[in-house]
Structure 1
Amino acid sequence: MGQILSPSPLVPELRNLYLEGRAVEIVAESLAVAMQAEPRIDDGAILTHKDRIKLQRAVDVIAANLVVPLTVEMIAREAGVSASGLQKLFRQSVGLSVFEYVRQQRLERAFTALRAEEVTVSEASLIAGYSNPANFATAFRKRFGRTPRQAARPG
């Protein structure tokens, strides 16, 4: 602040440019502090319109294919982005890897089916993509804070 109130002696044209530069610095620092106060998932990364479209395509592909085996390459190809680019988009916007997101979506679908009493716990584990019901139960409990059997009970 002292540099603005009493800048070094400069020719008038340079003095104004110097003061303008200092004012921009103050605004930039203020914005940085304000942005750090708000919780964010994306660590400051801003998605372009094209990136948002690619991300939405990937999310749509995942939603339409939750019951089939998926690969990052297949999802990326359908979304029009490279596999590493897709991983980066998911990390920036969702805070998860592509397969963490897929696993989460499958668990959500299994949870919904259990709550609606449409499936058994064994069937729900297959919906979630687990061949081992014990592994499914562990992942389910970690995600929802209750066992699949507890979620299947009415009430």
Structure 2
Amino acid sequence: MPYQAVIREYDRLELGHHHAFAQAVVPLQGEMQIEIGGHFKQLTVGSVGLIAPETLHDSETTAGSRFLIIDVSDRAAISQFFRHPGDSHQELSPLALKYLNFVASLTDTFEVDANGAASILNTALELATGRSADFIDQNAISHRLQSVKEQLPTHNKISDIAKEGGYSVSSLQKKLKASYGKSPKQLQLEMRLDKALTLLRSTDQSIATIAFQIGYENASSFTNIFKKHFGLTPSQYRAQYWPSKASHS
């Protein structure tokens, strides 16, 4: 089973050991002094101990202590919830504590419904660690959005970019606005003009070539937009840096 959960009362002293699965230790009553991978932690009600696979650990508990133990063998869950050895101890939010107490009341039913147990225990670990799938995927999502943003200058239709990136148009507009403070069209124009400025300063490409390279179908459209924003035509701007190249058009 990818997840198992039991209520356990430990002997006062548990000698050092390790196992192939990950484990979350949640005090329900009493407390535990635990060493996880060389780090000493005190687990009390309202906290959780996270033990990654093959991590040496030993513990000492107070008399009458009870713990919810969640064993995790699912690789994706281990990667999500137990990826940082230094995060072996965390405080629980009130919501997480309430949910874990609810989970503790269900442990006798988990063997009957393994799929239901997996869903419940995955949610319990998300709440206990604060590492929801959305949070874990945040870097991937940011990278994906950045990739979409980089396509803006070379596409005329925002709908095409959204489709290629797996977004709806409205979703892409909201995400770009939230991340960059600008609409797709504003970002597109800014990126096109920034690239145009660089090309005008650093190359002798014709204005028509630059216009096509940054996403415009003709030099006239590019020139009109450029002049509207900078008060100069592309050729006039280039002449400030390379007078001898001002004649290229």
Instruction: Place the TM-score, normalised by the shorter chain, in its bin.
Output: 0.5 to 0.7
145, 168, 186: which is aligned to 1:58? 145
Return the letter of the residue paired with 1:132.
N
Let me know the Cα RMSD of the aligned residues.
Answer: 3.0
Instruction: Report the identity percentage.
Output: 29
Return the letter of the residue paired with 1:60.
S
115, 122, 128: which is aligned to 2:201? 115
Q: TM-score, normalised by structure 2?
A: 0.35
Q: CA deviation at 1:104?
A: 2.0
**Residues 56, 118 of structure 1: CA spacing in aligned structure 2 closer, same or farther, 3 A cutoff?**
farther
**Residues 81, 130 of structure 1: CA spacing in aligned structure 2 closer, same or farther, 3 A cutoff?**
closer
2: CA distance between counterparts of 1:52 and 1:73?
24
2: CA distance between counterparts of 1:92 and 1:83?
14
Return the letter of the residue paired with 1:101.
L
Q: TM-score, normalised by structure 1?
A: 0.52
Q: CA deviation at 1:87?
A: 0.5
Return the letter of the residue paired with 2:213.
I
53, 62, 72: which is aligned to 2:158? 72
**Structure 2 regions of 5+ residues with no counterpart?**
1-133, 243-249
**Structure with the largest fraction of helix:** 1
| Contact residue 58 and residue 75 of structure 1 kept, 8 A | no
Return the letter of the residue paired with 1:151.
Y
2: CA distance between counterparts of 1:112 and 1:62?
19
Alignment of 1:95-114 (within 5 A): 95-114=181-200
Q: CA deviation at 1:101?
A: 1.3
| Contact residue 152 and residue 184 of structure 2 kept, 8 A | no
| Contact residue 137 and residue 148 of structure 1 kept, 8 A | yes
2: CA distance between counterparts of 1:52 and 1:133?
38
2: CA distance between counterparts of 1:138 and 1:119?
18
Return the letter of the residue paired with 1:54.
I
**Residues 93, 152 of structure 1: CA spacing in aligned structure 2 closer, same or farther, 3 A cutoff?**
same
Aligned residues: 107
Structure 1 residues 81-112: Cα deviation after superposition (integer angstroms, max 9, x where no partner): 33211101222333332133123212221221
| Contact residue 87 and residue 98 of structure 1 kept, 8 A | yes
Structure 1 residues 127-154: Cα deviation after superposition (integer angstroms, max 9, x where no partner): 2322232321121123334320122222
Matched, 1:147 2:230: no
| Contact residue 122 and residue 133 of structure 1 kept, 8 A | yes
